[in-house]
């Protein structure tokens, strides 16, 4: 083990810390690290392939003889399949296979019933249209509150729809004596906040192209957030050694948490490819994706926030539930995640309904929980007669977020734009500002390996089985290796998304980049040492006297050569080295703090909310590439606005089917809805791993909806406690407020 | 649409009413409709040009080169681009003209390829993202890379085509509002919009005036 003194911290909060680390692992970069590439704006290394359409995604693969498959799905929320007639279908032109799938009882609209495979898409259309299924339709319930009622149909006949209470909640466990704190509180605000079901709808749906070789080896191009998990699962399911399964995800069209394991379409592609002895394409269409591809559970959060008249928050308590669909877990709302409120007693439970399966969705539990928590904080501030920003600054103990509040306030113009009297703007368009905090937890981990090969011509290749779901993982790996070798990131070729390479982590929890980045840096160090050794031997100098920068290698006595020429000294096989992800160290901050401020304009005649500007101040430790990082924060903010204002999976109570499974009926934010977004990264030297990097994808979407809702309240004087804040809801809330004033 | 009625003289056992009833009944739609449509086509008068229901050959110009493909009447331009022509930059995302991921240029104007029938583009000129970057659109693609106007990249070729069309139309005078309007029909789930606008404006600055 080695010990290194590293300067950690942010702004003027600096501490020198001694970090014990493995000899092979370079010491974490401190505040004073002088870096050539890391922290600059680096263009995405696969950017041109994406822009030009040359990038081939799973559904773009065209192996010879490709056949097409589609799943026939149950139109009822709850039914027994009594008959599936496929005989006529099997004899239709072009049809290669038609099979029943899944069990007899179906518990959500969209459940697979049959699958058809044909030689071309038009034959497939005809064949799917000819499938006849008879059902015995059974009672169902698709709304969480209705599912709690006595006599409601049960998803699992052996257990109630109401899941076990979970006091742990998300993002902050129970603490203190909540009842006592409530009794002692000088001020209390109590309200019920509600959030909707949001579907992931990545533009690329779930799906795969599968092909089996004659000797029984499977190649699967799959749209997945975990190449490794899909390989292991397919090997298990189809009873072949994992070594005989190759999963490829070179490009991936978005997942946001819904693509960790195989979906029915992926399994069917593999099964049908084996059965028909042809490559098979099976991708969801948009409707299937909306119905079955995953969703963020809804929530009903009945909460009380209490504290002292001076604005100190002392207690949060209440009861929350939501539906994760067919299951019971994963519906918790992270409404205790911020401020480390001393007494916390929030009970959470999930409610089973006859809908598909909720899945992890970008910061699970957090946008909904923070929407409720930060709404209550504003209500508490109002009760205390204080500026809500002052209440936050008074209560917030997070070392980075404490610094972020004033940065955000200044950039949004809090003093100038905050309405002292909400709704007092002249005319129908009312403006205001609001803010909210966020948090995320992950600095990555695991023991992932990154391989780097340097050839005698100076070409550098980085290999890992990890996938890039759009965040820029390839670019991060290139930057970190380039930094250590002193070359341009564009000179580093990154080959990832292939299970032939060393396994990589699944892309979830904002852990991808911080899980593989430090290993890439270590591999870069090993590669530099390898090149330095041969150059030092040739020059007759100490290897540790060499420097690598600007594509050149320099040594004592004015010795200098290009990186390529230096590599020419390598043995004929070049250099193959690896880096390994080590355990995290105790960093400056164990969590990522973020704050967002929104300025909105609300037309009180139409109910339309427009977000005009968002300031997003975030900490993700060391930012490796500020350009792609800014893209991620933009995306988190825009998804948050979309969640706040537009999105809602609507289920027909009578049939249980989704009534808006299209982009014209399930609205997501578009170009016209996008405000000015001002992204600020706090330069935190965290030292939690050798790069000091943490996750960024999820924290960026945690505070947005809450900040927008708080801004709407400041603009109009009306508190919206239910998402999305549609024009109809805004008008209704305004009308209710006027009515209440009579 | 030409003749739609069919009163007598048709193939034995088939009347228009029966054909429509076949279509109305979901039952065995594929099995019933295709033979029926073939029968109607065979029965058409000599002065009426009938295409389909089976695939017919058509020639169009794709990215500057003439291409001949077989397409059924129900095939869209997007279908023939992605399969027989193997140009997969245009994505099938919604397949109903709501997302813009399949945007291509048809005779120089942006269209949703999912909402144009293949037979309607015979003799016309189609430029996909793959073709756009081979011409004046190269500067737009370079700006997309420089400004990081992409994340997962699935909407990106469609965005690129829409921006390239706007840059070609407005040149250096392209305004923010014009760029917004040009891409208002392109959805992105990752939230690349701000950088797309930056890229379009940057590319426009380097474009030649009209």
Report helix angle A626-645 to A704-716, nearest 10: 50
Distance from CA of B203 to the nearest CA of A (A): 14
Strand partners of residue A630:
none
Please report which confidence band the pLDDT of residue B207 belongs to, taking 50, 70 and 90 as the band edges. confident
| Residues of chain A contacting residue B83, judged by C-beta atoms under 8 Å apart | 62, 121
Which residues 127-186 of B are in CB contact (within 8 Å) with A?
Answer: 128-130, 132-133, 141-142, 144-146, 148-157, 160, 180, 183-184, 186
pLDDT digits (tens, 9 = 90+) for A130-182: 999 999 999 999 999 999 999 999 999 999 999 988 766 566 778 999 999 99
Of A130, A254, A669, the CB nearest to B29: A130
Of the candidates A580, A597, A620, which is a domain's last residue? A580
CB distance A631 to A42 below 8 Å: no
Which residues 119-158 of A are in CB contact (within 8 Å) with B?
Answer: 121-122, 125-127, 129-130, 132
Sheet harboring A592-603: ordered strands across?
A: A429-440, A592-603, A609-618, A676-681
B88 touches chain A (CB under 8 A): yes
Of A130, A469, A662, the CB nearest to B152: A469
| Residues of chain B contacting residue A48, judged by C-beta atoms under 8 Å apart | 133, 141-142, 145
B151 contacts A631? CB cut-off 8 A: yes
Q: Which pLDDT score is estimated for B32? A: 58
Q: Tell me, yes or no, whether A659 and A633 share the same domain.
A: yes
Q: Which residue of B has its CA nearest to A362?
A: B190
Distance from CA of A733 to the nearest CA of B (A): 29
Q: Which pLDDT score is estimated for B144? A: 98
Distance from CA of B208 to the nearest CA of A (A): 21
Q: What is the ipTM of this complex?
A: 0.97
B90 contacts A53? CB cut-off 8 A: yes
Whether A284 maps to a domain, the answer reads no
What sign for the dihedral angle of Cα A239, A241, A242, A247? Answer: negative
Of the candidates A523, A554, A580, which is a domain's last residue? A580
A54 contacts B184? CB cut-off 8 A: no
Which residues 189-218 of A are in CB contact (within 8 Å) with B?
Answer: 201-204
Q: Count the neighbouring beta carbons within 10 Å of the beta carbon of residue A667.
A: 19
B195 touches chain A (CB under 8 A): yes
The number of folded domains in chain A is 2
Residues in chain A: 742
Which residues 650-679 of A are in CB contact (within 8 Å) with B?
Answer: 662-664, 668-672, 674, 677
A497 touches chain B (CB under 8 A): no
Q: Tell me, yes or no, whether A599 and A742 share the same domain.
A: yes
Sheet harboring A245-248: ordered strands across?
A: A95-100, A112-118, A67-73, A280-283, A207-212, A218-222, A245-248
Q: Count the neighbouring beta carbons within 10 Å of the beta carbon of residue A392.
A: 25
| Residues of chain A contacting residue B150, judged by C-beta atoms under 8 Å apart | 44, 47, 50-51, 470, 631
A671 contacts B156? CB cut-off 8 A: no
B90 contacts A60? CB cut-off 8 A: no
Of A130, A204, A638, the CB nearest to B31: A130
Whether A5 maps to a domain, the answer reads yes
Assess whether pLDDT exceeds 80 at residue A70.
Answer: yes
Q: Which residue of B has its CA nearest to A635?
A: B191
pLDDT digits (tens, 9 = 90+) for A19-46: 999 999 999 999 999 999 999 999 999 9
**Domain that residue A507 falls in:** 445-580
Of the two residues B39 and B65, the one the predictor is more confident about is B65
Assess whether pLDDT exceeds 60 at residue A557.
Answer: yes
Strand partners of residue B181:
none
Assess whether pLDDT exceeds 90 at residue B8.
Answer: no
Q: Tell me, yes or no, whether A519 and A630 share the same domain.
A: no
| Residues of chain B contacting residue A285, judged by C-beta atoms under 8 Å apart | 95
Assign residue A713 the CATH number of its domain. 3.30.365.10
Mean pLDDT of A469-489: 97
Of A88, A121, A639, the CB nearest to B28: A88
Q: Is the peptide bond before B53 cis (omega within 30 degrees of 0)?
A: yes
Q: Which pLDDT score is estimated for B210? A: 53
Q: Which pLDDT score is estimated for A144? A: 93
Of A55, A59, A126, the CB nearest to B153: A55
Distance from CA of B47 to the nearest CA of A (A): 29
Whether A512 maps to a domain, the answer reads yes
CB distance A369 to A171 below 8 Å: yes
Tokens of A84: 């599936």
pLDDT digits (tens, 9 = 90+) for A140-150: 999 999 999 99
B94 contacts A671? CB cut-off 8 A: no
User: Element (H or E) spanning A513, and its range?
Assistant: helix A512-539
Q: Tell me, yes or no, whether A418 and A500 share the same domain.
A: no
Mean pLDDT of A560-574: 97
Q: Tell me, yes or no, whether A458 and A507 share the same domain.
A: yes
Q: Which pLDDT score is estimated for B25? A: 42
Distance from CA of A286 to the nearest CA of B (A): 6
A672 contacts B195? CB cut-off 8 A: no
CB distance B175 to B148 below 8 Å: no
Distance from CA of B13 to the nearest CA of A (A): 21
Whether A152 maps to a domain, the answer reads no
Of the candidates A535, A556, A580, which is a domain's last residue? A580
Q: Tell me, yes or no, whether A406 and A457 share the same domain.
A: no
Written out in words, the top-level CATH class of the domain with range B56-131 is alpha beta
Q: Tell me, yes or no, whether A666 and A695 share the same domain.
A: yes
Q: Tell me, yes or no, whether A603 and A472 share the same domain.
A: no
| Residues of chain A contacting residue B99, judged by C-beta atoms under 8 Å apart | 203, 663
Assess whether pLDDT exceeds 50 at residue B30.
Answer: no
What sign for the dihedral angle of Cα A445, A504, A43, A484? Answer: positive
Per-residue CA distances from B126 to A240, B110, B112 (Å): 45, 10, 11
Whether A411 maps to a domain, the answer reads yes
Q: State percent of chain A over pLDDT 90.
A: 95
Whether A346 maps to a domain, the answer reads no
pLDDT digits (tens, 9 = 90+) for A183-210: 999 999 999 999 999 999 999 999 999 9
Q: What is the dihedral of CA A556, A557, A558, A562, to 10 degrees?
A: -50
CA A476 and chain centroid, separation:
17
Assess whether pLDDT exceeds 80 at residue A441.
Answer: yes
A668 contacts B30? CB cut-off 8 A: no
Q: Which pLDDT score is estimated for B38? A: 84
Q: Tell me, yes or no, whether A480 and A622 share the same domain.
A: no
Please report which confidence band the pLDDT of residue B4 belongs to, taking 50, 70 and 90 as the band edges. very low
CB distance A59 to A209 below 8 Å: yes
Q: Which pLDDT score is estimated for B22? A: 42
pLDDT digits (tens, 9 = 90+) for B156-183: 999 999 999 999 999 999 999 999 999 9
CA distance A188 to A178: 13
Q: Which pLDDT score is estimated for A742? A: 43
Fold of B133-206: DNA polymerase; domain 1 (1.10.150)
Of B31, B133, B151, the CB nearest to A635: B151
Q: Find tokens 């239910």 and name the residue.
A: A722
DSSP letter, residue A585: P
Q: Which pLDDT score is estimated for B13? A: 42
Whether A309 maps to a domain, the answer reads no
Which residues 38-67 of B are in CB contact (within 8 Å) with A?
Answer: none
What residue spans define the domains of chain B? 11-50, 56-131, 133-206
Per-residue CA distances from B184 to A640, A674, A693, B159, B204 (Å): 19, 11, 35, 10, 18
pLDDT digits (tens, 9 = 90+) for A80-119: 999 999 999 999 999 999 999 989 999 999 999 999 999 9
**B154, B182, B196, B197: best to mutate for the A interface, most A CBs within 10 A:** B154
Of the two residues A103 and B22, the one the predictor is more confident about is A103
pLDDT digits (tens, 9 = 90+) for A658-691: 999 999 999 999 999 999 999 999 989 999 999 9
A51 contacts B149? CB cut-off 8 A: yes
| Residues of chain B contacting residue A663, judged by C-beta atoms under 8 Å apart | 94, 96, 98-99, 187
Assess whether pLDDT exceeds 80 at residue B19.
Answer: no
The SS3 call for residue B151 is coil
Q: Which residue of A has its CA nearest to B177?
A: A672
Q: Which pLDDT score is estimated for B28? A: 43
A44 contacts B145? CB cut-off 8 A: yes
Distance from CA of A421 to the nearest CA of B (A): 32
Please report which confidence band the pLDDT of residue B52 belongs to, taking 50, 70 and 90 as the band edges. confident
Phi, psi (degrees; rounded to nearest 5) at A276:
-95, -5
Q: Which pLDDT score is estimated for B197? A: 98
Distance from CA of B46 to the nearest CA of A (A): 28
A663 contacts B145? CB cut-off 8 A: no
B89 contacts A130? CB cut-off 8 A: no
Q: Tell me, yes or no, whether A590 and A731 share the same domain.
A: yes
Mean pLDDT of A216-242: 98
Of A142-146, A328-332, A451-455, B68-72, the poorest mean pLDDT is in A328-332
Q: Tell me, yes or no, whether A516 and A489 share the same domain.
A: yes
Q: Tell me, yes or no, whether A522 and A548 share the same domain.
A: yes
Mean pLDDT of A398-405: 96
């Amino acid at each position: 083990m080695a010990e290194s003194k590293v300067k950690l911290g942010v702004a003027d909060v600096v501490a020198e810390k001694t970090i014990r680390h493995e000899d092979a692992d370079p010491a974490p970069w401190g505040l004073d690290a002088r870096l050539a590439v890391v922290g600059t704006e680096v263009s995405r290394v696969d950017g041109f392939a994406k822009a030009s359409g040359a990038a081939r995604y799973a559904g773009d693969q065209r192996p010879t003889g490709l056949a097409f498959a589609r799943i026939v799905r149950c139109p009822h929320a709850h039914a027994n399949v009594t008959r599936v007639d496929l005989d006529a279908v099997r004899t239709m032109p072009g049809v290669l296979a038609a099979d029943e799938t899944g069990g007899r009882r179906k518990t959500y609209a969209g459940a697979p019933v049959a699958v058809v495979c044909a030689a071309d898409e038009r034959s497939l259309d005809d064949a799917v249209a000819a499938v006849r299924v008879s059902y015995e339709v059974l009672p169902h319930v698709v709304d969480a509150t209705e599912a709690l009622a006595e006599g409601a149909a049960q998803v699992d006949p052996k257990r109630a729809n109401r899941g076990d209470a979970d006091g742990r909640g998300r993002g902050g466990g129970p603490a203190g004596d909540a009842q006592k704190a409530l009794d002692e509180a000088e001020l209390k605000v109590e309200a019920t906040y509600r959030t909707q079901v949001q579907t992931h709808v990545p533009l690329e749906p779930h799906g795969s192209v599968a092909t089996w070789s004659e000797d029984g080896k499977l190649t699967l191009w799959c749209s997945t957030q975990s190449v490794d998990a899909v390989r292991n699962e397919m090997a298990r399911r189809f009873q072949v050694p994992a070594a005989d399964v190759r999963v490829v995800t070179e490009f991936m069209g978005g997942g946001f948490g819904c693509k960790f394991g195989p979906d029915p379409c992926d399994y069917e592609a593999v099964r049908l490819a084996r059965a028909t002895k042809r490559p098979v394409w099976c991708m969801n269409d948009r409707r299937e994706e909306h119905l079955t591809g995953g969703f963020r559970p809804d929530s009903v959060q009945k909460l009380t926030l209490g504290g002292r008249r001076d604005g100190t928050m002392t207690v949060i308590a209440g009861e929350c539930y939501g539906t994760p669909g067919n299951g019971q877990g994963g519906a918790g709302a992270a409404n205790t995640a911020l401020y480390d409120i001393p007494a916390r007693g929030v009970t959470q439970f999930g409610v089973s309904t006859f809908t598909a399966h909720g899945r992890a969705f970008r910061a699970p539990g957090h946008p909904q929980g923070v929407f409720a928590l930060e709404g209550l904080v504003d209500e508490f501030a109002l009760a205390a007669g204080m500026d809500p920003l002052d209440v936050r600054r008074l209560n917030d103990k997070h070392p980075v977020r404490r610094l972020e509040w004033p940065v955000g306030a200044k950039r949004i113009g809090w003093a100038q734009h905050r309405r002292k009297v909400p709704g007092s703007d002249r005319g129908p368009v009312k403006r205001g500002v609001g803010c909210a905090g966020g948090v995320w937890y992950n600095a990555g981990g695991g023991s992932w390996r990154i391989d780097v090969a340097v050839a005698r011509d100076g070409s550098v290749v980085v290999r890992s089985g990890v996938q890039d779901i759009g965040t820029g993982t390839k670019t991060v790996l290139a930057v970190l290796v380039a930094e250590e070798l002193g070359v341009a990131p564009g000179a580093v070729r990154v080959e990832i998304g292939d299970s032939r390479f060393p396994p990589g982590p699944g892309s979830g929890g904002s852990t991808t980049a911080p899980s593989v980045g430090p290993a890439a840096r270590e591999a870069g160090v090993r590669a530099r040492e390898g090149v330095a050794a041969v150059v030092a031997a040739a020059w007759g100098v100490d290897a540790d006297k060499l420097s690598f920068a600007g594509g050149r290698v320099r040594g004592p006595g004015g010795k200098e050569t290009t990186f390529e020429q230096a590599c020419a000294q390598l043995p004929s096989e070049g250099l193959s080295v690896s880096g390994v992800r080590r355990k995290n160290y105790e960093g400056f901050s164990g969590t990522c703090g973020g704050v967002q401020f929104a300025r909105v304009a609300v037309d009180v005649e139409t109910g339309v909310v427009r977000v005009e500007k968002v300031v997003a101040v975030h900490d993700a430790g060391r930012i490796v590439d500020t350009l792609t990082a800014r893209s991620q924060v933009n995306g988190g903010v825009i998804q948050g606005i979309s969640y706040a204002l537009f999105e809602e999976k609507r289920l027909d109570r009578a049939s249980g089917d989704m009534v808006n499974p299209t982009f014209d009926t399930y609205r997501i934010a578009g170009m016209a809805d996008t405000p000015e977004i001002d992204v600020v990264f706090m330069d935190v030297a965290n030292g939690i791993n050798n790069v000091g990097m943490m996750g960024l994808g999820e924290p960026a979407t945690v505070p947005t909806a809450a900040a927008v809702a708080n801004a709407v309240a400041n603009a109009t004087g009306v508190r919206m406690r239910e998402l999305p804040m549609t024009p109809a809801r805004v008008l209704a809330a305004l009308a209710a407020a006027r009515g209440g004033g009579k | 649409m030409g003749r739609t009625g069919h009163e007598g003289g048709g193939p034995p056992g088939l009347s228009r009413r029966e054909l429509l009833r076949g279509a109305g009944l979901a039952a065995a739609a594929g099995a019933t409709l295709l033979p029926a449509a073939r029968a109607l086509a065979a029965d058409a008068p000599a002065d009426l040009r009938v295409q389909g229901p089976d695939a017919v050959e058509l020639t169009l110009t794709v990215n500057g080169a003439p291409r001949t493909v077989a397409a059924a009447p129900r095939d869209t331009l997007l279908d023939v681009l992605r399969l027989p022509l193997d140009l997969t930059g245009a994505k099938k995302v919604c397949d109903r003209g709501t997302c813009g991921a399949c945007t291509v240029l048809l005779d120089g104007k942006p269209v949703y390829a999912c909402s144009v029938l293949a037979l309607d583009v015979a003799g016309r000129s189609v430029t996909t993202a793959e073709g756009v970057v081979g011409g004046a659109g190269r500067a737009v693609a370079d700006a997309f890379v420089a400004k990081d106007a992409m994340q997962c990249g699935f909407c990106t070729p469609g965005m690129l085509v829409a921006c390239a069309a706007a840059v070609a139309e407005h040149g250096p005078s392209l305004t923010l509002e014009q760029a917004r309007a040009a891409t208002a029909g392109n959805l992105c789930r990752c939230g690349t919009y701000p950088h797309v606008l930056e890229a379009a404006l940057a590319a426009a600055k380097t474009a030649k005036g009209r």
